[in-house]
Structure 1
Amino acid sequence: MAGNSFGTLFSITTFGESHGKAIGVIIDGCPPNIDIDEDFIQSELDKRRPGQSKITTQRKESDTAQILSGVFEGKSTGTPIAILIPNEDQRSKDYSHIADKYRPSHADFTYQQKYGIRDYRGGGRSSARETAARVAAGAVAKLFLKKHGIEIFAHVSSVGPIEAPNLDTTDLNALLERRENNIARCADPATANEMIALIDEVRKAGDTIGGQVSTIVRHVPAGLGEPVFDKLHADLGKAMLSINAVHGFEYGSGFIGSQMRGSEHNDIFIKENDNVRTRTNFSGGIQGGISNGMDITFRTAFKPVATIMRDQETLNESGEATTITGKGRHDPCVVTRAVIIVEAMTALTLADHFLRNMAYTNER
């Protein structure tokens, strides 16, 4: 199976299935002498793990990371870092009723058509369980970026029709604390309470709902990204769209920008404390595919989770009409756990482009 690797210089390859013995990741290209804080890596995994609240799947996984190689005395050695995450709470029998049925809006039919075989237990490789490996790798990327002062913050900015107001982003650490104080992972407490109530209502009705995650990245130096095919926003878009259930990505002004005039939308350059800045940031910190030193901002839209606890019409592998009902443990809204996945894929993209830019600047 192709398409299991991401990145050019700072690259990862993930492996494993939802109901296999384990999932994991190989990180290649991490520079040596980076402090590898295992407690931090575990804390990132804890934010993604299932069973953490009433509005997430009740699958119980500790997601305990085991570093197998590439780290010595707490520092990266420059060799591949292998991280293993055992699966502990598989309930494969929950999926026996769909062994020959195609779940609506899942990857069952497309996997069967492409490979001629599929692991129906939780979707196998197509399961969002795979993203735990990305979060572990993203934590390592964050530790690398931290050395260079780069900060990443994401939060749930909408669930269904409920939208959080624009936030004061002066202090990202304060926003992070507010985000982690509620199970919706929204940095606005009042909106978080509304989101929680809606998700719980949807869950009790056997349904699911979508939402959006907004991200801001601070202290990214100007110059990251390539001008043609590997534009920074294009690679960020690919990273986000590779996450399960993501259906949309926009950066800067996004689609609203298409309704504006150039005289409104252009970011005027100014000098501030001897630094070149822009008066506005409709570009989202990226111009011509290259970071300009302003905050990088983007939004990622997630569809409703495809598994619902209701009867649905479908077809089986013989093409016969049948019905299917969701069973097992599933998220009624994926965004609350997806926040940390978005941050991880952001970190992996930026770490890769940071190293690529070092080839131009000879920076060490």
Structure 2
Amino acid sequence: MAGNSFGQLFRITTFGESHGEAIGVIIDGCPPRLAVDEAFIQGELDKRKPGQSRITTQRQESDEFRILSGVFEGRSTGTPIMLLIPNADQRSKDYDHNKDSFRPSHADYTYQAKYGIRDHRGGGRSSARETAARVAAGAVAKLLLKQQGIEVFAHVSGVGSLEAPETDVTNIDTATAIREQNLVRCADPEMAATMTTYIDEVRKAGDTVGGRISCLVRNCPPGLGDPVFDKLHADLGKAMLSINAVHGFEYGSGFKGSEMNGSDHNDLFVPSPGENGVKTQTNYSGGIQGGISNGMDITFKVAFKPVATIMQSQPTIDKSGNDTEIKGKGRHDPCVVPRAVAIVEAMAALVIADHFLRNKTLSL
């Protein structure tokens, strides 16, 4: 199986299955002498881990990680960093009912069709459990970006048809504090309460609901990205669309921009007293023009489909093509977006860190 690695200079490879002994990640290309704050990495994993509240899966995983290589006396050595996260709360018997059946809208059939074999216990490599490894690697990328003053912030901006008002993110610390004070991780407290109630109602009905996460990258310098196949927004799009359950990505004005005239949509350049000396009056470009960052805030939104496992009976077929019926069992999220905030931030950090290092080599 190919496709387990991501990035060029700051490159990660994840491994492991949902119901195996452990999952983990190898980070290749991390510069030496980076202070590796283990408490910070654990804090990022805690935001993604299961069992956080009544509106998330009740699988109990501490997601406590171990560093097996690449760090000495608290600093990166420049060699591959290996992070291991043991699996502690597998209940493989919860998946016995779909050993021979294909769950609707899951990877069961496509996985079987491609490889001729599949791990029915939680989906194996196609399980969202794999994303814990991404969050661990993304935390290291965040530590690298912090050295440059670059910040990555995301929050839940929509659940079902509910939409949070545009959030003032000029004070990112305040926004983060508000986000962490509610179960949904929405930066608008009033809408967060409404979203929580709605997700709880959906859960009690044995159903699921989708949502949206908005992300912001602040203090990103101009010049990251390349103008053809390695456009910065293209790599961000690939990163986000590689996350389980993601069905949509838009940056800047997104699809709404297609409804505007050029005279309204153009971001006019003006002098700025800042380090770059240039900024734009508006930011419909989402901080990226021609595939290259322009120094403004990078903004994008990610759409997640409803979790495919629902606690209701549905018709399906088995691997022999016979009609059958299936009903979800076990522990699953009624809405994935509260836990996915950490994943979106991690993937964004990995992309920016990789492009930052790639851009840095141009000046050598």
TM-score greater than 0.5 by the shorter chain:
yes
Give the unaligned 5+ runs of structure 2: none
Instruction: Give the counterpart letter for 1:316 in structure 2.
Output: D
Q: Decide which of 257, 264, 285 is 1:283's aligned counterpart.
A: 285
Structural mapping, 1:103-118, within 5 Å? 103-118=103-118
| SS at structure 1 position matched to 2:282 | coil
| SS at structure 2 position matched to 1:338 | helix
| SS at structure 2 position matched to 1:223 | coil
Partner of 2:310: 308
| SS at structure 1 position matched to 2:221 | coil
Q: How many residues align?
A: 362
| SS at structure 2 position matched to 1:154 | strand
Partner of 2:32: 32
Give the unaligned 5+ runs of structure 1: none
How big is the shift at 1:168?
1.1
Q: Within 2, Cα distance between the matches of 1:143 and 1:240?
A: 20
Instruction: Give the counterpart letter for 1:334 in structure 2.
Output: V
Partner of 2:299: 297
Q: Within 2, Cα distance between the matches of 1:347 and 1:166?
A: 22
- Aligned-pair identity in percent equals 72
Q: Within 2, Cα distance between the matches of 1:168 and 1:18?
A: 37
Partner of 1:360: 362
Q: Within 2, Cα distance between the matches of 1:169 and 1:325?
A: 42
How big is the shift at 1:167?
1.1
Partner of 1:99: 99
Partner of 1:319: 321
Instruction: Give the counterpart letter for 1:320 in structure 2.
Output: N
Structural mapping, 1:5-154, within 5 Å? 5-154=5-154
1:273 paired to 2:276: no
1:341 paired to 2:336: no
Instruction: Give the counterpart letter for 2:263 in structure 1.
Output: S
Instruction: Give the counterpart letter for 1:237 in structure 2.
Output: G
Cα deviation 1:185-216 (Å, max 9, x = unaligned): 00100000000000000000000000000001
Cα deviation 1:146-195 (Å, max 9, x = unaligned): 00000010000000011100111110010000000001000100000000
Partner of 2:200: 200
Q: Within 2, Cα distance between the matches of 1:2 and 1:122?
A: 20
Cα deviation 1:228-284 (Å, max 9, x = unaligned): 000000000000000000000000000000000000000000002161000000000
| SS at structure 2 position matched to 1:114 | helix
How big is the shift at 1:59?
0.1
| SS at structure 2 position matched to 1:41 | helix
Structure 1 residue ranges (4+ consecutive) displaced by more than 4 angstroms after TM superposition: none
Q: Within 2, Cα distance between the matches of 1:186 and 1:276?
A: 32
| SS at structure 1 position matched to 2:237 | helix
Instruction: Give the counterpart letter for 1:317 in structure 2.
Output: K
Q: Within 1, Cα distance between the matches of 2:95 and 2:106?
A: 13
